[in-house]
A and B are shown apart, each in its own frame.
Chain A
Amino acid sequence: MKRISIVILLLVVSQLWGISTAKSVFYADSYMLRAQGVEANYWNPAKLNSKTGVDLWLPFANVTASFSNNALDVDTYNYFVTSDSLSVADKQYILKDLHTSLRGDMNTNISLFGMNFGNQAFSSTLNLSGKASISKNVTDMIFYGLTEEEYKFSLGDTNLSGLGYIDFTFGIGDISIPYIPENWPQIKVGASASLLAGLFGTDIIEYDGIIRNTLSEGATVHQDLVLKTGVGGGGLKAMVGMYSEVYDGLEFGLTVDNIVGFINWRVMTVEHALSISADDLYAANLEEDYLKVDFEQNKIKPFSTKIPPELRLALLYKTKYATVSTDWVHGIKSSAVTDKWGRISFGASLLPVKFLPISFGIAPGNSKSPLKTSYGIGVTSESIDFGIALQTSNSLFPNDKTRGLSFGSHLSFHF
């Protein structure tokens, strides 16, 4: 049971890497120029191509589920549970990768329906995502106690946001840009628009906290939090994309996603305000109402959850037996589905056997995001495409150092 609890904890605090469709997991999200058929609706509608025939998604046939965190792994867990007692060095080892906060994201993308007709596609997916972060002060207090006189908390290190919606996306692509000089490579463009049916959205919009414990002032606690939630709503988002085979076998692509992205919550919108305060407490001076707790829930006017635009650039190089690609993505600001820092990823696909592609992906870590690597294998034929993939965080291979997993399974039919 306790092991399950740990897994659930990891799920809760896991980290999302954008909105992924199932096959993107195969390449650590270096997938913009690889997406074809219905998937191009979400990655680069310019790649919607009438030559690929009809591509069909069945409900729940394409699934990704990912979770990760920035500091804890199985090795740390094992180290923790197999120690009889923790020395200062042990604590430092366990918390060594926690810098400002323990962050985790999760994401689930489930296909509901998808079909393309030539250079047009219509599809629908269910997207569930969430982010949470807990200040390092909390883990410090757990492992070291109240060694500091003052601990401050803010929205920067403590946060919670979640978003669930179903998209209905129509895309059109494979449109050549006219009037391009003849000696230039052909440039294809496309666009997709999504009608979003919001299921839920929640965000902490205000948070300030302080815990102070000093000899000269006693104990002081202030925690002020405002959480906004919305249930039921509608919205839009759009994507434009282009690609071009700039050199023989080398493609370049660019997309801007989440244009005018928003979900307006209307059915039930509530603001939850929690305020906890206690000042200058000494055990000898405690009064019965020394801790003031105020919790208010107020219905509020409909509000919108913005989905910030995200820019993606990609390169793809194809040979007969292999492809390699790289993607760079950067959100304008952070949200439940975007990050305001850039990240790069690389993907490779090998075809040792024509019907049995294997894939790899790697996204180097940075100060904000851990290393991610993907491994996938599939079976492909003229009428069916199937594969499974596993993506790990913080490790090249799934092992004790892994801080998160993404699973992707893909099944589509071609006509």
Chain B
Amino acid sequence: MKRSILLLFVVLVLLGACEIKEFALPQWDVELRVPLIYQRYYVSDLADEVNIIISDDDVLTLTATGSMDTPEIGTIPLHPSISQSGLPIMSGIVQSLDIPFINTGMEAVLFYGRVESGFLRYKFDITESSADVLIELSNIRNDLGESLKIESGAGSGWQNINISGYHFGDEDHGEELENIVVNASSTSGLPQGSIIATFSIEINQPLHFSEFHGVLNDYEISMNESSTAIEIEYPQNINEAITLQEATLLIDVVNQIGFSCEFEGSFVAEGIHGTEVIPIKDDNGNNFIIEAASSTGPSTTHLSIENGLNTLLQAMPTKILMENAKFVISTQSGSGRVNSTNTIQADYRIRAPFTFILQDTPITIQESVRVEISDDNQDIFNKRVMEAEMAFDLINKLPLGGNVQVYFSVNDEIDPDNPSTFDFAKSITLLSYEASDGESQIIPLKLEKEELKIFSNPEIFLRWRFSFEDTQGEAITIHAGEMDYIELRSMVTAKVLIGGGE
């Protein structure tokens, strides 16, 4: 009995020893990891499908296309001097006479032409009142092929004939029109062979031909001045950081004129590095010859220009235009034909792959990254963070290394060149693809106490700036495939004190 009571007593004493202390929460530190940023900047994002495109071989390429054209060539003016006075008309006899077609100007030789505007004048001096005279100009015809006919009786003195719509010469003759063929026939009451009248004809005003076959000499056709210049916008202002090294200029000239001609002109590039001008010449420094249109339609001449384009690119052009562009038809062009509505159009395209030399200018990403900080995390960073570091994980698929600067601010307007616009900045070394084998580059950075305070704001902003290392003058080609990018990730790791009293 005593033993049992003793045992029970012992158990109760032991139970009584189970003192449960009053609850109080101690403090301890835990690790808090906040994934902050994940940004992947593809080279292909630089392409705007307008001026920056991705070529078939995935190379980022600057391209600029433009088009210029001439106005309609208009009428070809000739200044003939045709004059025949006092040609006797004999009654009852058909007479034929060639009047020389003398072109006083040296600008053209007419083979065949259709008059758009011009006048011919003639005069009959009738000596026999019963005379009836018909003059037929057999190589001046209307659209129906009917020769120009002049009949007496229209009045005395000089008479004008509007010869608009009449054709000079034979379309298929292919040789210079040397004479105007005049055929005269008459009737009268006088015996055959009696002179019954005299006939005078002259053309001493310019004739304007809407259709012209022949030879033109030093005939210039200027491009329209109203052609629009090409404006190029570069994403992320990369034109400040690079100078492109290769380019080709392709010009397709569509010629409706049946004359070959020389193409003269120059390209002007205006950019942040100045203005550059290159003449449009072939590899031998000669003007390009534009093929004549054929009977089947306009010709297209493809011109490829490489010489001097590097000079053009030195400007990293933001504006490209063709200046003083014109086409010159000369006697060397041979004979040809032209219509007043004919034009010449030049479509040109500059292609410059992103093979470039880096300038000593950083590339700043234009848009800031906004990071929202939750209320809980704000409170933690405000009161409970003991220490923290920010780790970066960089993957660089580009053949360029350098530095990445990240600027932190509570305001969106971050100007990396103005320290008052951001709270602090961090700089990270970025290895090139070759140097890093394309693998992750993990870079831990310690955050100072003062820097941590920024995370106690409801939102913060980050802005990236890339300063690529000097390529020592070596040109680098940038591709823009799916695997060409720079990836930036960051995570804040903090030792946070939890528990305890407030």
Task: Please state if A400 and B18 are interface contacts (CB–CB under 8 Å).
Answer: yes
| Contact flags B2-42 to A (C-beta < 8 A → 1, else 0) | 01100110110011011111111111111111111111000
Known pairs A283-B37, A352-B3, A399-B17; A83 contacts B26 (CB<8 A) = yes
Interface hub of B17, B27, B33, B37 (most chain A Cβ within 10 A): B33
Task: Please state if B489 and A215 are interface contacts (CB–CB under 8 Å).
Answer: yes
Chain B interface bracket (under 10, 10 to 19, 20 to 34, 35 or more): 35 or more
Task: Please state if A284 and B31 are interface contacts (CB–CB under 8 Å).
Answer: no
Of B89-97, B226-234, B370-378, B426-434, the one contacting chain A is B370-378
Contact of A352 among B4, B18, B24, B33 (CB under 8 A): B4
Query: In this complex, what residue of A is CB-closest to B487?
Result: A216
In angstroms, Cα B501 to Cα A85, docked, is 11
Residue B490 is within 8 A (CB to CB) of chain A in the complex: yes
Residue A285 is within 8 A (CB to CB) of chain B in the complex: yes
Known pairs A74-B20, A78-B21; A145 contacts B27 (CB<8 A) = no
Task: Please state if A218 and B21 are interface contacts (CB–CB under 8 Å).
Answer: no
In angstroms, Cα B14 to Cα A104, docked, is 24
Task: Please state if B23 and A81 are interface contacts (CB–CB under 8 Å).
Answer: yes
In angstroms, Cα B19 to Cα A81, docked, is 12
Residue A397 is within 8 A (CB to CB) of chain B in the complex: yes
Interface hub of B27, B32, B38, B499 (most chain A Cβ within 10 A): B38
Task: Please state if B490 and A215 are interface contacts (CB–CB under 8 Å).
Answer: yes
In the complex, which residues of chain A have a beta carbon less than 8 angstroms from the beta carbon of B393? 215-216
Residue A219 is within 8 A (CB to CB) of chain B in the complex: yes
Task: Please state if B30 and A283 are interface contacts (CB–CB under 8 Å).
Answer: no
Contact of A283 among B24, B25, B27, B34 (CB under 8 A): B34
Residue B491 is within 8 A (CB to CB) of chain A in the complex: yes
In angstroms, Cα B27 to Cα A144, docked, is 12
Task: Please state if A3 and B20 are interface contacts (CB–CB under 8 Å).
Answer: yes
Residue A303 is within 8 A (CB to CB) of chain B in the complex: no
In angstroms, Cα B314 to Cα A296, docked, is 65
Task: Please state if B35 and A77 are interface contacts (CB–CB under 8 Å).
Answer: no
In angstroms, Cα B287 to Cα A371, docked, is 104
In the complex, which residues of chain B have a beta carbon less than 8 angstroms from the beta carbon of A142? 30
Residue B445 is within 8 A (CB to CB) of chain A in the complex: no
Task: Please state if A6 and B20 are interface contacts (CB–CB under 8 Å).
Answer: yes
Task: Please state if A78 and B371 are interface contacts (CB–CB under 8 Å).
Answer: no
Task: Please state if A377 and B4 are interface contacts (CB–CB under 8 Å).
Answer: yes
In angstroms, Cα B440 to Cα A74, docked, is 48
In the complex, which residues of chain A have a beta carbon less than 8 angstroms from the beta carbon of B27? 84-86
Query: In this complex, what residue of B is CB-closest to A402?
Result: B18
Total chain A interface residues with beta-carbon distance under 8 A: 48
In angstroms, Cα B11 to Cα A312, docked, is 30
Query: In this complex, what residue of A is CB-closest to B461?
Result: A284
Query: In this complex, what residue of A is CB-closest to B495?
Result: A145
Known pairs A91-B28, A402-B18; A286 contacts B3 (CB<8 A) = no
Task: Please state if B372 and A283 are interface contacts (CB–CB under 8 Å).
Answer: yes
In the complex, which residues of chain A have a beta carbon less than 8 angstroms from the beta carbon of B35? 213-215, 218-219, 281-283
In the complex, which residues of chain B have a beta carbon less than 8 angstroms from the beta carbon of A218? 35, 38, 489
In angstroms, Cα B372 to Cα A352, docked, is 75
Known pairs A3-B20, A91-B28; A216 contacts B440 (CB<8 A) = yes
In the complex, which residues of chain A have a beta carbon less than 8 angstroms from the beta carbon of B24? 81-82
Residue B87 is within 8 A (CB to CB) of chain A in the complex: no
Residue A390 is within 8 A (CB to CB) of chain B in the complex: yes
Residue A356 is within 8 A (CB to CB) of chain B in the complex: yes
In angstroms, Cα B369 to Cα A283, docked, is 10
Contact of B4 among A74, A90, A146, A356 (CB under 8 A): A356
In angstroms, Cα B31 to Cα A285, docked, is 22
Query: In this complex, what residue of B is CB-closest to A141?
Result: B30
Known pairs A215-B489, A283-B371, A356-B1; A145 contacts B36 (CB<8 A) = no
In the complex, which residues of chain A have a beta carbon less than 8 angstroms from the beta carbon of B372? 283, 286
Query: In this complex, what residue of A is CB-closest to B392?
Result: A215
Residue B391 is within 8 A (CB to CB) of chain A in the complex: yes
- Residues of B250-289 whose CB lies within 8 A of A: none
In angstroms, Cα B39 to Cα A63, docked, is 64
CB distance from A12 to the nearest CB of B (A): 17
CB distance from B77 to the nearest CB of A (A): 71
Contact of B21 among A81, A216, A377 (CB under 8 A): A81
CB distance from B452 to the nearest CB of A (A): 15
Task: Please state if B4 and A144 are interface contacts (CB–CB under 8 Å).
Answer: no
Task: Please state if B26 and A84 are interface contacts (CB–CB under 8 Å).
Answer: yes
Task: Please state if B25 and A81 are interface contacts (CB–CB under 8 Å).
Answer: yes
Task: Please state if B33 and A77 are interface contacts (CB–CB under 8 Å).
Answer: no
Contact of B31 among A5, A83, A147, A353 (CB under 8 A): A147
| Contact flags A62-85 to B (C-beta < 8 A → 1, else 0) | 000000000000100110111111
In the complex, which residues of chain A have a beta carbon less than 8 angstroms from the beta carbon of B30? 141-146
Top 3 nearest A-B pairs (CB, nearest first) are A145-B30, A2-B23, A145-B31
List residues of B whose CB falls within 8 A of some A CB: 1, 3-4, 7-8, 10-11, 14-15, 17-39, 369-373, 391, 393, 440, 442, 462, 489-491, 496, 499-500
Q: A91-B28, A146-B30, A216-B440 are in contact. List 4 more A-B contacts (CB 8 A).
A: A219-B35, A356-B4, A398-B15, A400-B19
Task: List 11 interface pairs A-B (beta carbons < 8 Å), by A numbering.
Answer: A5-B23, A6-B20, A82-B21, A91-B28, A141-B30, A145-B496, A215-B391, A283-B37, A375-B7, A390-B11, A398-B18
